[in-house]
Amino acid sequence: MTSTPQANRSSRPAARRPVPWQALLDAAMLLLWGTMMLRFAVTGKLYLLLHPDYMWLAYLALALLLAMGIVRLGQVGLSYRQGRAVSFRSQEHIALLPRQLSVGLLIAIAIFGLIYTPRPFASETAFQRGITDVLGQTRSRPQQFSLGGTSGDRTIVDWVRTLNVYPEPDAYQGQTAKVTGFVTHIPGWPENMIMISRFVLTCCAADAYPVGLPVELPAGTAPPAADTWLAVEGRMQTTVLEGKRRLAIGSATLTEIPEPRTPYEY
Amino acid sequence: MTQLNNGITLFFSLLIEAMPFLLIGVLFSSLLLLFVDEQKLLTVIPKNVVLAALAGSLMGFMFPVCECGNVPVARRLLSKGAPTAVAIGFLLAAPAVNPVVFWATWIAFRDQPEIVFLRLGFTLFIAVAIALIFSAQADMRPFLQDNLTRLMGSPQPAPVEPEVSPLLRSGTFLMQAPGQVLQLDAPPAQVMAQATTVQPPLVARLPLVVDNMVLELRELGAVLVIGSAIAAFVQVAIPREVILNLGQGPVTSILAMMVLALVVSICSTVDSFFALSFASTFTGGALLAFLVFGPMIDLKNIGLLLTVFKGRAIVYLFLLAAQLTFLLTLVMNLYTG
C-alpha cells in the first residue's frame, strides 16, 4: 500500500525509498503488546489479573506477539534493504475502524500497560460487590472440595464453602481458625467487629467476588484500618450480628502482614 | 480513585485473558483462508434443505472464525453457488459454534456448564430456523447486494434434457488441459474459480498467513480494547443497585444484555469473558442472550453484512434473531431460574 511506481521499478538511492511506516507501526504494536504482557508476567502482576490455571495462555500469547513482531520487523528490514516496498497481501478483509485509529489505540493501551501497575481489589470494592459468608446463585460451588488437615489450615474461602454446606454456626464452636486477609469495615456493625476478607477468582479479575468472616476484636484493641492485611488467629464462636446468628472468629490475635504476592484465593 | 484503579485492573484483566483466544482465532481464520477450498466443501453438502441448513451451521467447526471473518466466507460461499440455507446457517452459527469459541466459553463459565452447552444449542436452533425461513425464498437475488449478484450471474436455466450429450452445449469456451474446457459466459465467479485453481506453493502462502493475522489482530484487537473498556466502565461507574435492579428481572435483564451485545460488538472469540464480568449480577438467561445474539448481529457486523445483503434482508435477519433469542432465553429464565 505504500508502494509507488518508483519503488517497484528500481533500486534507486536509499534516500528516495519510502519508509514503510505502516509495517513499522504494526511491528511496534505487536512488540509493545508482547513487552507489556512480559512485564506483567515478570513482575508477578499477572496474579492480580488471571487465575493461575490460565497463565500459560498468557505466556503463549506473549510469545506469539513477540514472534510476530520480530517476523514483521524482519520482513520490513529485508525488503527495505532490497529496495522493495513492503506489500500487504491480504484479501477478504473489510476494515471497520480506520487503520490508523486501530493501531493508535492498541499502541496507546500497550504503553499505558507498560507504565501502569495494577492493584488488587480492596475493601471498598468488597463492600460494593456485596461481601458475604454465603455463596450466591452465581458463585462457584464446587461439587466436592477436600479440607485437608485441621481447622487451622482452612483459608477464608474454605470456611465459607464449609459453611455453605452446613450453615449451623454452633457446629464449629471452639475450632481453631487461622486465616489471612484484608480488613473490611461493615457499616452498622459494632465497634469491635471487623470482616477479614479475600477475593476469590474463577477465571480472571472480571469475576472476582469477595468472601469474608467476621472477627471479634479483643477488648481494648483499636480497630485496624480498612485494607490492612492481617493474619488472624482465634477460636470460632457464634455471634449475633444484625439480628442473625453468624460464625465469627473470637478471642483473636491480629498480626499485620505485607500484601501477599497472590492476594486472591481460587 | 479506588474505582478508577479497579476499573483499570478489570480492563487489563479482560484484555490479557482474551488476547490469547483472539490470537488463536486469527491464526485459525488466516490458515483456513489460505488452505481450505470452499468449492470442494460445497460438493459434499446434503441436498435436503434442513440437513443443508444444519451442515451450514456446523461448518464453523471447519472455519473457526468470529463474526468478522464469517461474513467474507459466507459471501464467498454465496458467490460460488452455495444454497441459501447453507450460507445463512453458516453466517449465523459459525461465530458461536466453533471449537475456539467453545473452549473460551468453557474457561469462562466452567462453573455454569449449562451456559456453555445452551449457547451451542440455542445458536444452532436459531441459525437453522432462520436458514429455513430464508430458503423458502426461491431466488435470493432481490435480497443481495448488486455487486454480489453480478458475481453469481443470472439464474441457472432449467436443467437441459438428459438425452442431449453433455458435449453439445452452447456458449463460449476456452480449451484448457485435454478434456477440460472453460466456459467463458458462465457466471463470473465460477469462471474465476475455475481459472485460478492453481494455489501458490506452501512457502509463498506462509507470509500471507502472517500478513492476514496482523491485519485481523489490528482490527479485532481495537474492538476488543473498546469492548473491555465499556465492560470495565459499566462495572465500576454505574451504581450496583441500578445494575442489580436491571439484571435480576427476567425480562429486563435479557433486553439489557441484548442491547449491550448489539452496541459493544465484541468478537465472539472473547465475548464470554465480557459476559463473565456480569455473571454475578445478571440472570443466566440474560448472559445467554448476550452470548447467542451478539455473534449473530451487532453494530460492527451490520457494516459487514451490508457488503452481502440489502437493508431489508438485514432487518429480517435482525428481527428474527432478536425474537428467537429473546423467547428462548426468557423460557430459560422463567423455568430454570
pLDDT per residue as tens digits for the range A96-131: 567 788 899 999 999 999 999 888 887 777 776 666
Looking at the complex, report in whole angstroms how far the Cα of residue B277 sits from the nearest Cα belonging to chain A: 5
B222 reaches A (C-beta below 8 A): yes
Nine cell digits for residue B248:
435480576
Residue B286: what pLDDT? 93
pLDDT at A51 over 80: yes
Q: Does residue A85 have a pLDDT over 90?
A: no
- Cβ neighbours of residue B56 under 8 Å, at least 6 residues apart? B45, B82, B85, B86, B87, B88, B89, B90, B93, B127, B131
Task: Indicate the domain borders of chain A.
Answer: 5-115, 123-265
Closest partner residue to A49 among B13, B72, B211, by Cβ? B13
> Which 23-82 residues of chain B touch chain A by CB within 8 A?
23, 27, 33, 68, 71-72, 76
Q: Are B214 and A203 inside 8 Å of each other by CB?
A: no
What pLDDT shows up at residue A221?
81
Question: pLDDT tens digit string along B107-136?
Answer: 888 888 899 999 999 999 999 999 999 988
ipTM of the modeled complex = 0.82
- Cell 437441459 belongs to B160
Per-residue cell: B122: 440455542
Q: Does the CB of B98 have a partner CB in chain A at under 8 Å?
A: no
Interface contact A37-B303, CB threshold 8 A: no
Residue of A nearest to B276 (CA): A207
Residue spans of chain B under pLDDT 50: 157-163, 197
B301 touches A: beta carbon within 8 Å: no
Minimal Cα–Cα distance from B121 to chain A, Å?
21
CATH superfamily of A123-265: Nucleic acid-binding proteins (2.40.50.140)
pLDDT digit string (tens) for B7-36?
Answer: 898 889 888 888 888 888 788 777 777 777
Cα separation of A250 and A237, whole Å?
Answer: 6
Q: What is the pTM of this model?
A: 0.77
B215/A88 touch (CB, cutoff 8 Å), yes or no: yes
Mutation pick from A73, A125, A127 vs chain B, by most beta carbons of B within 10 Å, is A125
Tens of pLDDT, residue by residue over B84-107, are 888 899 889 988 998 888 988 998
Q: Give the A window 167-226 contacts with B, CB below 8 Å.
A: 202-207, 209
User: What pLDDT does A5 receive?
Assistant: 46
Gap from B6 CA to chain A (nearest CA, Å):
6
pLDDT reported for residue A87: 56
User: Which residue among B2, B107, B226 places its CB closest to the CB of A122?
Assistant: B2
Q: Which chain B residues are Cβ-neighbours of A69 within 8 angstroms? A: none
Q: Which amino acid is at B186?
A: A
Q: Which residues pair with A178 in a beta bridge?
A: A233
Residue A166 CA to residue A264 CA, distance in Å, equals: 24
* Beta carbons of B259 and B278 less than 8 angstroms apart: no
> Is pLDDT at A264 greater than 60 in this prediction?
yes
User: From CA A10, how far away is CA A5, in angstroms rounded?
Assistant: 9
